[in-house]
């Protein structure tokens, strides 16, 4: 029997309630497979900061270090609440970025997927969605502006200023390109390389390395697209895309636009993969406004479990079953209040009921 | 009689054909007002590079220096064609950025506007557009990554790398904030401040200065929104926005997303305002694929003329007439092939016919 240790970081806001549902799914998978999951819960994010003075406390680091995979809920506070924590201790700078850096999870996979049957969730017209949206954003996750040096102070004219750096070297670019090309090879063999080479020199290097890597994947067709054009195209014609690769900040913005075209960030799970460790998280924030109300859809968290099953535990078939179970719950006409409006023809269920129904389908 | 000198830079691709239509409108305005426009055409962009070796040649600089306002068409080449020009001579780095820097046009106003009657252009469902989209993106245009130092070479590990800097000082932030707050005061008194303060220190300073400026505009309500959330929100609920203010790169991406939600970048004129000089340009590229086909809609170029009339020549009434004339042509059921599909119920007309009809309506 295989045995896996999973660090479970429920996070802030809606984190605990959607994590609870995801764990129900994990439990079922465990029961019917020759596998055991050892769950190791740990504090992470604003909740950890308030409890220990540290958003990523040493005890949590130890647990994550030992884990075979990490399941992480959303973290963070509202704009106003955030101000109560010193800037460098805030959950993003104090926990999330250190986690990404520590485990060097450079490849972030963010599926933006909406089967035709769920087109009603989307703000886009049915004719734009056609047979469904099914693309993956491959975001570089440990470089660029996020991790560059930062300098601030008073300049010669006596003015406050901030200077931050965006840095990439060829190795950082090459490894994310290989991830993107490999994924494209397994899918529609289309890769959109997103850049801003008409302004950024880092994009010039990015494109150079892309071309070098491309020769190793002759069956993949590459389209080069400026990041601004991509933002237009994601609204006008999202079905043209299959795999899109881009640097960190571009990936942050365009993947949230991806959530926008689906109808909700609640439909956005993700996998953050390094050479030795991977963690799985929803792409969205902790939604403090709806926390504790039992209305947040656990799709993104259960989807993150599916990505964990496939990537970390080599259980691609069970992963497929999980996706299918979630689609089936939607197809049966059920939804949650964060995704759908009352009176839109769906039967409104709670976070908990959604999790239960997914388990039933499974 | 007032006399104004206008530098006319038709640019590349579809630039000349849409500029031609914009000039028809200017001519009519001149005929019926106590004003004369002296048009000073000049080469700018890839066309200028191929003719003179310089995308912003000295002769053009001289003309722009003398002009009371500059009307600029789109510039640039396709990805492949661009490679034929040395990187620093390419039209963006060789002409557009130098123009912005020379005239210190720090405030870029990009209206994202779609009256309810034109909702069919948009990829968004009618219920999302409601009574119409009517927001303005105020983009800082001469700071940030676009103008920071850039360094590239081989690092200690023997790897090619690039390092660029994103820099802002409080003065740069304060002046764009004043522009945004002033505009908000004249409109719905709502300002969305777009930032990424959970990661970028420049956004922390940005928000600090925003709060300092806000006290001077007590009637304007400020909402702080992360740039990634804004990308989601522009798809899900664009009508919540009135004025949005943001730094250079964020403005580049979100304004193109704005074109996406309208249905085309062809509906995006813009004004780039400095303390002493302003220039007006479509927000879109030169669309080499449809250049010379007489199918590009001249809306963005004629709209840029309207913004010039209002901002540079104090002719707000004529500006309103120009907007109304363009809406009227659309309302009469006419459109161009870049905006509408054949068979979608519109009467398809050419670039030239669209310009003529706008002039008729005026
Ligand atoms: C919380 C924040 C730091 C994070 C990011 O910007 O990467 C989030 O927006 C995301 O996309 O995972
Ligand atoms: C052409 C390019 C340099 C420019 C920019 O990035 O500013 C354009 O995309 C724009 O938005 O005006």
B326 φ, ψ (degrees, to nearest 5): -65, -45
Q: Does residue A344 register a pLDDT over 80?
A: no
CB under 8 Å to A317, separation ≥6 — which residues? none
The C-alpha angle B177, B178, B182, rounded to 5 degrees, equals 115
Q: Does residue A350 register a pLDDT over 90?
A: yes
Which range has the worst mean pLDDT, B66-70, B84-88, B172-176, B195-199? B84-88
Region class of B67: left (phi > 0), else alpha (psi between -120 and 50), else beta: beta
Q: Which ligand places an atom closest to the C-alpha of B105?
A: 2
How many whole angstroms separate alpha carbon B16 and alpha carbon A95? Answer: 53
Q: In what order do the strands lie in the sheet with B69-72?
A: B35-41, B2-9, B69-72, B278-282, B269-273, B107-115, B132-140, B243-246, B190-195, B221-226
Which of B94, B256, B266, B287 is most worth mutating to test chain A (most A CB atoms within 10 A of its CB)? B256
- Model pLDDT, residue A188: 97
> How is domain A112-264 classified at the CATH fold level?
Isopropylmalate Dehydrogenase (3.40.718)
Average pLDDT over residues B165-190: 98
B175 contact residues in A (CB cutoff 8 A): none
Distance A252 CA to ligand 1 centre (A): 6
Percent of chain B exceeding pLDDT 70 equals 100
Residue B338: pLDDT band by 50, 70, 90 thresholds?
Answer: confident
Tell me the pLDDT tens digit for each residue of B64-112. Answer: 999 999 999 999 988 888 888 999 999 999 999 999 999 999 999 999 9
Percent of chain A exceeding pLDDT 90 equals 92
* Nearest-CA distance B357 → chain A (Å): 27
A289 DSSP 8-state letter: G
- Model pLDDT, residue B224: 97
Nearest CA to ligand 2 atom 11: B252
CB contact under 8 A, B148 and A159: no
Tell me the pLDDT tens digit for each residue of A191-210. Answer: 999 999 999 999 999 999 99
- Model pLDDT, residue A35: 97
The C-alpha angle B351, B356, B360, rounded to 5 degrees, equals 150
Mean pLDDT computed over every residue of chain B: 96
Q: What share of chain B is helix, strand, coil (3-state, %, to 5)?
A: 50, 25, 30
Under 8 Å CB pairs connecting chains A and B tally to: 187
Average pLDDT over residues B28-52: 96
CB contact under 8 A, A259 and B232: yes
A169 contact residues in B (CB cutoff 8 A): 155, 157, 159-161
Distances (CA, A) of A127 to A119, A236, A259: 10, 10, 18
Q: Does residue B117 register a pLDDT over 90?
A: no
Q: Does residue B341 register a pLDDT over 90?
A: no
Average pLDDT over residues B179-207: 97
Percent of chain A exceeding pLDDT 70 equals 100
- Model pLDDT, residue B344: 76
- Lookup: tokens for A206: 């990015």
Q: Does residue A342 register a pLDDT over 80?
A: no
Distance A81 CA to ligand 1 centre (A): 17
A149 DSSP 8-state letter: -
B317 DSSP 8-state letter: H
- Lookup: tokens for B109: 């106003």
Q: Which member of A169, A232, A253 has the closest CB to residue B228?
A: A253
Residue B30: pLDDT band by 50, 70, 90 thresholds?
Answer: very high
- Lookup: tokens for B202: 């420049």
For residue A23, the SS3 value is: helix
- Model pLDDT, residue A205: 98
Count CB-CB contacts under 10 A for residue A217. 18
Q: Does residue B343 register a pLDDT over 80?
A: no
Average pLDDT over residues B175-190: 98
How many whole angstroms separate alpha carbon A219 and alpha carbon A88? Answer: 45
Q: Does residue A18 register a pLDDT over 90?
A: yes
Bridge-based pairing of strands B190-195 and B243-246 is parallel
Mean pLDDT computed over every residue of chain A: 96
Tell me the pLDDT tens digit for each residue of B272-298. Answer: 999 999 999 999 889 999 999 999 999
- Model pLDDT, residue B165: 98
Q: Which member of B148, B155, B252 has the closest CB to residue A228?
A: B252
CB under 8 Å to B325, separation ≥6 — which residues? B358, B359, B361, B362
CB contact under 8 A, B123 and A228: no
Tell me the pLDDT tens digit for each residue of A210-230. Answer: 999 999 999 999 999 999 999
Distance A256 CA to ligand 1 centre (A): 9
- Model pLDDT, residue A304: 98
- Model pLDDT, residue B245: 98
Residues B1-103+276-362: name the CATH superfamily.
Isopropylmalate Dehydrogenase (3.40.718.10)
Q: What share of chain A is helix, strand, coil (3-state, %, to 5)?
A: 45, 20, 30
B95 DSSP 8-state letter: I
Tell me the sheet residues that pair with B150: B164
At the second CATH level, the architecture of B129-264 is 3-Layer(aba) Sandwich (3.40)
What atom of ligand 2 comes closest to residue B96's alpha carbon?
3
Task: Taking each helix axis as running N to C, give the angle between helix A248-262 and helix A227-236, from 0 to 180 degrees, rounded to the nearest 10.
Answer: 10
Q: Is the overall model pTM greater than 0.85, yes or no? A: yes
How many whole angstroms separate alpha carbon B277 and alpha carbon B5? Answer: 12
How many whole angstroms separate alpha carbon A169 and alpha carbon A77? Answer: 33
- Model pLDDT, residue A168: 98
Q: Does residue B132 register a pLDDT over 80?
A: yes
CB contact under 8 A, A199 and B161: no
- Cα B122 to its chain centre, rounded Å, is 19
Range list of H helices, chain A: 15-31, 46-52, 58-66, 79-82, 91, 97-102, 126-129, 170-186, 201-214, 227-236, 248-262, 299-312, 316-331, 351-361
B92 lines ligand 2 (CB under 6 A): yes
A157 DSSP 8-state letter: T
A357 φ, ψ (degrees, to nearest 5): -65, -35
What atom of ligand 2 comes closest to residue B255's alpha carbon?
11
Residue B301: pLDDT band by 50, 70, 90 thresholds?
Answer: very high
> How many alpha carbons lie under 13 Å from residue A133 in its C-beta half-sphere?
32
- Model pLDDT, residue B235: 98
Taking Cα atoms as reference points, which of B200, B183, B181, B99 lies closest to residue B141?
B99
Positive or negative, the CA dihedral B71, B190, B122, A285 is positive
- Model pLDDT, residue A339: 85
Query: Would you list the domain boundaries of chain B?
Result: 1-103+276-362, 129-264
Nearest CA to ligand 2 atom 7: B252
B188 DSSP 8-state letter: T
* Nearest-CA distance A245 → chain B (Å): 16
Average pLDDT over residues A79-98: 92
Q: Which ligand places an atom closest to the C-alpha of A145?
A: 1
Q: Which member of B123, B202, B231 has the closest CB to residue A257?
A: B231
Tell me the pLDDT tens digit for each residue of B239-271. Answer: 999 999 999 999 999 999 999 999 999 999 999
Q: Give the residue numbers of B marked as catalytic.
A: 146, 196, 228, 252, 256
Residue B361: pLDDT band by 50, 70, 90 thresholds?
Answer: very high
Domains A1-103+276-362 and A112-264 share a fold: yes
Distance B89 CA to ligand 2 centre (A): 15
CB under 8 Å to A160, separation ≥6 — which residues? A152, A153, A154, B169, B170, B205, B208, B209
Q: Which member of A168, A205, A231 has the closest CB to residue B253?
A: A231
How many whole angstroms separate alpha carbon B134 and alpha carbon B131? Answer: 9
- Model pLDDT, residue A117: 84
Tell me the pLDDT tens digit for each residue of A39-65. Answer: 999 999 999 999 999 999 999 999 999
For residue B70, the SS3 value is: strand
- Model pLDDT, residue A285: 87
How many whole angstroms separate alpha carbon A60 and alpha carbon A80? Answer: 26
Q: Is A256 a catalytic residue?
A: yes
- Lookup: tokens for B184: 């908000």
Q: Does residue B342 register a pLDDT over 80?
A: no
- Model pLDDT, residue B110: 98
B5 φ, ψ (degrees, to nearest 5): -95, 125
For tokens 């290989």, the residue is: A178
- Model pLDDT, residue A345: 81
Nearest CA to ligand 2 atom 12: B283
Ligand 1 mutation target, pool A250, A252, A265, A301, most atoms within 8 A of CB = A252
């Amino acid at each position: 029997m295989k045995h896996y240790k999973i660090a479970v970081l429920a996070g802030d806001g809606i984190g605990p309630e959607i994590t609870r549902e995801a764990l129900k799914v994990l439990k079922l998978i465990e029961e019917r497979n020759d596998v055991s999951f050892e769950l190791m819960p740990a504090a992470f994010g604003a909740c950890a900061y308030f409890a220990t003075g540290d958003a990523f406390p040493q005890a949590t680091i130890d647990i994550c270090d030992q884990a075979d995979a990490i399941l992480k809920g959303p973290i963070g506070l509202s704009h106003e609440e955030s101000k109560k924590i010193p800037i460098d201790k805030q959950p993003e700078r104090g926990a999330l970025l250190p986690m990404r850096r520590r485990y060097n999870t450079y490849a972030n996979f963010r599926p933006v997927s909406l089967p035709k049957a769920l087109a009603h969730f989307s703000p886009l017209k049915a004719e734009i969605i056609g047979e469904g949206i099914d693309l993956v954003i491959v975001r570089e996750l440990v470089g660029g502006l996020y991790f560059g040096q930062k300098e601030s102070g008073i300049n010669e004219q006596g003015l406050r200023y901030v200077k931050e750096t965006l840095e990439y070297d060829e190795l950082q670019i090459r490894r994310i390109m290989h991830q993107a090309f490999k994924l494209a090879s397994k899918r529609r063999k289309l890769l959109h390389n997103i850049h801003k080479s008409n302004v950024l020199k880092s994009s010039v290097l990015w494109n150079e390395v892309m071309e070098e890597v491309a020769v190793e994947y002759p069956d993949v067709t590459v389209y080069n697209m400026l990041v601004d054009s991509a933002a237009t195209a994601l609204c006008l014609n999202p079905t043209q895309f299959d795999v899109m690769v881009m640097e960190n900040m571009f990936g942050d913005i365009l993947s949230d636009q991806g959530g926008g075209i689906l109808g909700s960030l609640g439909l956005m799970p993700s996998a953050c993969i390094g050479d030795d460790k991977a963690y799985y998280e929803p792409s969205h924030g902790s939604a403090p406004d709806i926390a504790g109300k039992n209305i947040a859809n656990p799709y993104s968290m259960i989807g993150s479990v599916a990505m964990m099953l496939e990537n970390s535990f080599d259980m691609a078939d069970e992963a497929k079953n999980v996706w299918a179970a979630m689609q089936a719950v939607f197809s049966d006409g059920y939804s949650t209040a964060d995704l759908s409006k009352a009176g839109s023809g769906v039967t409104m269920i709670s976070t908990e009921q959604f999790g239960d129904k997914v388990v039933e389908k499974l």
